[in-house]
Each structure stands twice: as structure tokens, then as C-alpha cells.
Amino acid sequence: MTVRVEEGRPAVRMAPEELAKRLSGMQPHWPRPKAEINCAKRKCVALTFDDGPGDYTAGLLDLLRERGVRATFFVVGQMVAADRHHTLQRMVQDGHELGNHSWSHAQLTGLSSDGIRAELARTQDIVADRTGVEMQVMRPPYGSTDGRVATESRREGLAQILWNVDTLDWRDRVASVVTRRAVQAGPGSIVLMHDIHRSTVAAVPSLVASLSRRGFDFVTVSELYGKRPAPGRKYTER
């Protein structure tokens, strides 16, 4: 992720490593990995959460911090606008990655190119305004993408991140069911969940414990690939 400063100040772009250094100085308990994780050699999994921030996101952040787990949050612009709890700032402070999930959770393939651009750009702007972070990944709502979505994502500097493990937590709101599906992850998996559901948050302790026992490291999407994913390109797993 890179960083924008407030309007009227000189523009600054900060490498992720420098951002990590600054945040760790500001937040003494900020959970950083003990060493750089090479996911080409280790068992890594990326937990991802869509559609927030919502009523249960703060509790999820508590659970992740207690366990030293990093995740990626694909946020909806309208939800960010409605949030009054500084949730995104806390995500950044805790070392999570932020991703663009459109402004209104629209099916992007049903919009014009201008409409797609507006959905992505407006969300980029509010997240940058709230956190100073310029997001580098996006997830199209419903996983619905095509050539125009790819083009506009590339224009915004956003890689398209899909998934290879779907917990279907939006449909089956039972924590044990969510856990059972999540733990089917293998090395390099990207797991799809939604932090707007209480049952999903309730599943996190057990699924993290299960994957930890199997030797998995929990990483953000960008950490999973070891470098910035290419804008416009579609990814489903490492």
C-alpha cells in the first residue's frame, strides 16, 4: 500500500515497509510478523472479509489481534462513509490490508465503464481520506468481472482478487459450518468471508486454531504473493 497526505500538503508515497515501521512506532502492540514470510516456501493462507465495516467488525479485529493474525478487508465505500468508530484506521494500525469492494456493492459488469470507474474511484478516495492508504487490490462484488472491469481496475491501479475457498457464510450463518469450509484451505488459498455476519466472526477462533495446528501462516493478499499484485489482473490463489 502507498500513502497519500492531506490536500494542500506535499504528496508523499510510502513503501509498505516504511509504513510498517512508522505504525509500529506509533502502536507498540501492533502485531508484526516475527520475520518476513516467504509464501513460496511456507504454508500461507489469506483470510479475506468483504462488505464491511459493519457492526461486528470491531469484535473481529479484537479476535485477530489477540491471535496475531493479519487479514485483508474488502470494504464498501458506503459502509466506510457510515462508520463512526474509526474502524479502518484500526485495520491499518493492526497491519491488515484494505481492498476496494466498490461504493455500493453494485454488480460492476452491469454498469457502463464510467459507472465502474465511479464505483472504484469514489471508494479509493474515501479510504485515502480516512486512512491515508491508497488501496492496491479490489474484489468485484459477487465475483462478477469482465474485460471492462479489468480495464477500469487497471486504470485505478487495482488488482482483482477473487478466491478459491468460499465459506458461503452469507447463506449458511452457522459458525461450525463456516469453520468446516474455511479449513479446507490449502497452501496459497484465499478464503472468502464476510465480517458483517455475527456467525462468521464467531467462527474465527476455531478456524484460526485449526489452520494454525496445520502449520499455516496468516498473511494479507499482497503478502501471499510476495509483491504487489499486477493491476487489472485476476487472482484466485497463489
**Which residues belong to the active site?**
50, 194
The string of DSSP codes covering 120-189 is: HHHHHHHHHHHHSEE--EE--GGG---HHHHHHHHHTT-EEE--SEE--TTT---HHHHHHHHTT--TTE
Please check whether residue 71 is in contact with residue 98, taking contact to mean a CB–CB distance below 8 angstroms. no
Instruction: Provide the residue type at 146 as one letter.
Output: D
Q: Is 25 exposed, middle or buried (0-12, 13-18, 19+ CB in 10 A)?
A: exposed
Place of cell 504487489: 228
Question: What are the phi and psi torsion angles at 8 (to 5°)?
Answer: 100, -15
The separation between the first and the last C-alpha atoms of the chain, rounded to the nearest angstrom, is 19
> Is residue 220 within 8 Å of residue 71, measured between CB atoms?
yes
HSE-CB for 3 with a 13 A CA cutoff = 18
Separation CA 184–CA 211 (nearest Å): 9
CA gap 114, 118 in Å, rounded: 6
